[in-house]
Amino acid sequence: MIVDNYNRVHNYLRISLTDNCNLRCFYCMPEEEYAFTAASQLMQKDEIETLAKIFVSLGVNKIRLTGGEPLVRKDAAEIITTLSRLPVKLTITTNGSRLHEFVDTLEQAGVRSLNISLDTLQAEKFQLITRRNQFEKIYDNIQLLLKKDFHVKVNMVVMKGLNDNEINDFVEWTKDQPVHVRFIEFMPFAGNWWTSNKVFPMQQMLNVIKEKYEVVRLQDEKHDTAKGYMVPGHLGTFAVISTMSAPFCSGCNRMRLTADGKMKNCLFSEKETDLLSALRRGEDVVPLIHQSVKAKAKELGGQFTADFEHLHAEDIHNRSMITIGG
């Protein structure tokens, strides 16, 4: 078992397959001309498998593939198939643009639930946020996955003045379709234009929704980062991921592996542990994994608190989101 100093058992690993992406969401990838990491510096397929097996031997029972955009990696299908043979719940977070090419692979791998990011239901605004013109493709792919009975969670990063006026459009979407919308509070990462006044906190989201809808609170699972709700009679649900205004660190069971093989014990941790180099030198990485988790801060990487109104993005030392893996 992997346990930290606050008795939190860590059984969930997020593996970033690449820091490459075919979108350019400004809040995730700071620069249009961002230089992606060379393929040779990324974990290779067999290295991902070896590291995943080591984590599984230590008690990991859930793996999420992320990035960057995991499905732009050339051997993504092979990696999905390989990891699906491990005794884990395998899932993926994707921008959805390539899902039509991967439906069969996902079905064969037994992946039944996945997170797809979509911050707006307006094609023009999508272009503004992602600097790419892929709205229709992604929306169609969500429909395709719903038709194939996948459990689809839609991640929407809510940013004040940009898309907070669409919150109820997303709730309305849950009326006739079994989509599970997750409203995410905007988080600060290196160079992502974050300022505290762009955060639209959970309580304000709920106020907006309750002005239009009657809502009921759903029972959360033990390690849920999202607080779940639904409108009675709607086919889908919605939830809020309140990292900034009400962090959920006390129940955290997550560890991260960046695409270049660095372990992060928290999304906001400054320190990283280089598992890939150790693996390539033939060293035992198990003690490194335990050390990393033992060094985990109680809350938010030890870098800030829920008092985010006074936070300045430049005071946080971290990578950009695209190089961490969300």
What is the rounded distance in angstroms from the CA atom of residue 258 to the CA atom of residue 20?
12
Contact flag: residue 15 with ligand SF4 (CB under 6 A) = no
81-140 binders of ligand SF4 (CB under 6 A): 95, 117
Binding-residue total with ligand SAM (CB under 6 A): 20
Phi first, then psi, for residue 30 (nearest 5°) are -60, -40
Q: What is the DSSP string of 177-234?
A: S-EEEEEEE----TTS---GGGB--HHHHHHHHHHH---EEPPPPTT-SEEEEE-TT-
3-state SS assignment for residue 152:
strand
Which structure tokens are listed for 183? Answer: 């409203």
Q: Provide, rounded to whole angstroms, the least separation between the CB of residue 17 and ligand SAM.
A: 9
Contact flag: residue 170 with ligand SAM (CB under 6 A) = no
Contact flag: residue 261 with ligand SF4 (CB under 6 A) = no
Q: Provide, rounded to whole angstroms, the least separation between the CB of residue 20 and ligand SAM.
A: 10
Nearer to ligand SAM, 55 or 194 (CB): 194
CA dist 320 to 9, 32, 132, 187, 188, Å?
27, 13, 19, 11, 9
Nearer to ligand SF4, 67 or 261 (CB): 67
Q: Provide, rounded to whole angstroms, the least separation between the CB of residue 186 and ligand SAM.
A: 5
Radius of gyration of the chain (CA): 19
Q: Provide, rounded to whole angstroms, the least separation between the CB of residue 192 and ligand SAM.
A: 5
Nearer to ligand SF4, 25 or 316 (CB): 25
Q: Provide, rounded to whole angstroms, the least separation between the CB of residue 12 and ligand SF4.
A: 20
167, HSE (Cβ side, Cα atoms, 13 Å): 27
Contact flag: residue 157 with ligand SAM (CB under 6 A) = yes
Angle at 167 between CA 165 and CA 172, to 5 degrees: 120
3-state SS assignment for residue 287:
helix
Nearer to ligand SF4, 31 or 176 (CB): 31
Closest CA to 157 of 186, 130, 135, 134: 186
Contact flag: residue 29 with ligand SF4 (CB under 6 A) = yes
Binding footprint of ligand SAM on the chain (CB under 6 A): 21, 27-28, 66-67, 69, 93-95, 117, 155, 157, 184, 186-187, 189, 192, 321-322, 326
Kindly list the residues in this chain that would bind ligand SF4 in the complex (CB under 6 A): 21, 23-25, 28-29, 67-69, 95, 117, 322
